[in-house]
Structure 1
Amino acid sequence: MSGGPIIGRGASGNLHHRFERIHIEAVDDGWWQDEAPASRATEVRQEHSRTAISRNQSPDMPFSSSLNPYRGCEHGCIYCFARPSHAYWDLSPGLDFETRLIARTNMAALLAEELARPGYVCEPLALGANTDPYQPIERQHQLSRQLLKVLLQHRHPLTITTRSALILRDLDLLTELARHRLVRVIISFTTLEPGLKRIMEPRAASPGTRLRVIRSLRAAEIPVGIITAPMIPMINDMELERLLKAGFEAGATSAGYTLLRLPLEVRPLFEQWLSEHFPERAEHVMSLIRQSRGGREYDNRFGHRLRGEGPFADLLAQRFRLAIRRLGLNRRREEERLDTTRFAPPHQQIDLF
């Protein structure tokens, strides 16, 4: 699977995925030949989707409906829980996930159609629940901006989760959405250390840039919070309080966190990454993960998968509670509640401009 770390990428190769019927492995048969280099360039193909809004019934998610304009993510975060979804397109959750991307080009038109359906019930949509809506290819394709325009036109509330500075391009739309209490932005943080960021999430914005994004959003009176996700034992968990403090000082008013999740193909990818970058502590990291997951590498039970259990997970939860209490985070929930009463279906269009 791996030929060693690749500069600018999270995964160091492609691993076989669970739906693959034919496995091809290189074998030294005594005949020398040049190996085909691993694909490093980003490829984007277009998809015409059948639906825009994705639904979930997960009781531990703060939303039940989401918009995901891109499949795969160029940010290359090694821990990304969405990596296994690439297998549905017969692509590897490894390097393919961050280099062979899919742009769902008809999302905005589909969204307008779905908002117009009889019986549609307005509730905040989560933009970027699976992969980052402001990853680098958004600069060219502008699918997230198109979705914002539709939501603004029909006064539909949404939340946005990103770790990219590209969101500032859309300040004009976000400011207008915020004026009508229709948007809240969450900036995702894992570390304040640039070196760790470069190997853990290579093409995401730097820690300093993300703090600048928070300050800019706050200055524009757009509600903004942070999520420290994921916390990884012995890798970045020691930064929890510093991350929360930095986010608060930049202007964030809310905060959350999650514990590392290792579903399906994410586990071998993460273990390979650990062995390449932190060989001296890899076994200790995995031991703490198993202690927090009932002796397994992953526990998918609702109520447990985002937080874990056991001494390490309990201590992390206690540290988080103490930190947000000390900083005064999460005290403005009612004030920042999104307004669903302004929704105007497409047959009742209202021009906010």
Structure 2
Amino acid sequence: MHVNNYSPSTLTATPRGRGTGLRPDGRFLRWQRAAFDDGWAPEDSGAPARVATRLHIDRAKHVITYNRSPDVPFDRSINPYRGCEHACVYCFARPSHAYLDLSPGLDFETQLFWKPDAAAILRRELAAPGYRCAPIAVGVNTDAWQPVERHTGLTRSILEVLLEARHPVSLITKSALIERDLDLLAGFAHDGLVQVMVSVTTLDDELARRMEPRAARPARRIETIRRLHEAGVPVGVLCAPLIPALNDHELEAVIDAACAAGADSAGYVVLRLPYELRTLFTDWLERNAPERARHVMSLLTDLRGGRQNDPRFGHRMRGTGVLADLYRQRLARLQRRHGLGRMRRDLDTSLFRPPREAGPQLALF
């Protein structure tokens, strides 16, 4: 699948409402472009124009993806979308756009893919004779409630099938749009079938606007935690990613605010910089925090055993060394202070019943 119709590999600045102006070529292409000044580029006349979002159909045969990673507490997930309009500059999923021959930079946040028949495919997969129920994580790679969901309703249609089948789900989002589906989530919660984690990276509006320009404001995410809690939906807070010397000092403040709103669990993930994300994040850092860029990258290198990224299982989420130990101690102290439970709760799989496949044939009983 190839829809890349852009020629420049970089822009002079970040377009309005976007996380990056870079378009590094995907690592699987046979050629790579490099920007250079040939003397003909027009002078920068100010902020660049907006770049529109394009939505493409993803013809998938399956919607449930299985994994064997020891770093995550689930073995299957559903990602309704590829790419994410939230435009978080730090997103670990950006390099996955290279599999589409698209750039993990600006293309990741403007060239989106969705599966319009995902609910029907899911119904068929859950009804398969060999299917064995275990919690499904929804929206792990890219946010299932990103802005385009307002128009497609794709994530809601997936949740409707899962609720009909009494299938347990774990959800993660940084979008207030999840409140639209409180009626479904309350149905899951009634039978112990759901847990939601709301990602809160910072309480600083200006930093959030620069790092994650189309996600909900920090205070709005805290309010989402409150509304989920009031609806009886188990909800926790995920401080992700922690970035040393940029937002890691806010760990206590974020968790205190989330717990005051009703969060019953908390966790964090340290910034990861796989593949093209290293270039994208370091460029963003130089543009937005030039006075501390070297310090941030130095501390990240310390966390990663002398490298900018450590992909090893057991290390990639939390890091190693003195700073990683300090993060663990701070979280443990917060968990004791607020009486928080485990970040991942046990969800009931005993109520699962395979859904009927859609069709004209009526059920006998």
Instruction: Compute the TM-score of the two structures, normalised by the length of structure 1.
Output: 0.94
Give how far 1:5 is off: 2.9
Among 249, 266, 276, the residue aligned to 1:238: 249
Could you tell me which residue of structure 2 aligns to residue 293 of structure 1? Answer: 304
Q: Matches of residues 95-174 of structure 1 in structure 2 within 5 Å?
A: 95-174=106-185
Give the Cα–Cα distance (whole angstroms) in 1 for the partners of residues 43 and 206 of structure 2: 33
Give how far 1:303 is off: 0.5
C-alpha deviations, 1:80-114, integer Å up to 9, x for none? 00000000001100000001100111211111111
- Structure 2 counterpart SS, 1:346: coil
Could you tell me which residue of structure 2 aligns to residue 15 of structure 1? Answer: 24
- Structure 1 counterpart SS, 2:88: coil
Change (3 A) 1:331 1:302: closer
1:277 aligns with 2:288: yes
**Contact 1:39/1:99 (<8 A) preserved:** no
C-alpha deviations, 1:51-86, integer Å up to 9, x for none? 110111000111110000000000011110000000
Instruction: Compute the TM-score of the two structures, normalised by the length of structure 2.
Output: 0.91
Could you tell me which residue of structure 2 aligns to residue 345 of structure 1? Answer: 354
Give the Cα–Cα distance (whole angstroms) in 2 for the partners of residues 206 and 229 of structure 1: 15
Give the Cα–Cα distance (whole angstroms) in 1 for the partners of residues 352 and 182 of structure 2: 21
Q: Matches of residues 238-277 of structure 1 in structure 2 within 5 Å?
A: 238-277=249-288
Change (3 A) 1:32 1:121: closer
Aligned residue pairs total: 347
**Displaced runs of 4 or more, over 6 A:** 32-35
Give the Cα–Cα distance (whole angstroms) in 2 for the partners of residues 82 and 32 of structure 1: 32
Q: Which amino acid aligns with 2:290?
A: P
Give the Cα–Cα distance (whole angstroms) in 2 for the partners of residues 308 and 27 of structure 1: 36
**Contact 1:4/1:276 (<8 A) preserved:** no
Among 327, 331, 344, the residue aligned to 2:338: 327
**Contact 2:123/2:357 (<8 A) preserved:** no
Give how far 1:176 is off: 1.1
Give the Cα–Cα distance (whole angstroms) in 1 for the partners of residues 288 and 348 of structure 2: 45
Question: What do you get for the CA RMSD once the two structures are aligned?
Answer: 2.0
Among 13, 18, 35, the residue aligned to 1:4: 13
**Contact 2:202/2:247 (<8 A) preserved:** yes
Could you tell me which residue of structure 1 aligns to residue 228 of structure 2? Answer: 217
Q: Matches of residues 44-83 of structure 1 in structure 2 within 5 Å?
A: 44-83=55-94
Could you tell me which residue of structure 1 aligns to residue 4 of structure 2? Answer: none
Give the Cα–Cα distance (whole angstroms) in 2 for the partners of residues 275 and 99 of structure 1: 23
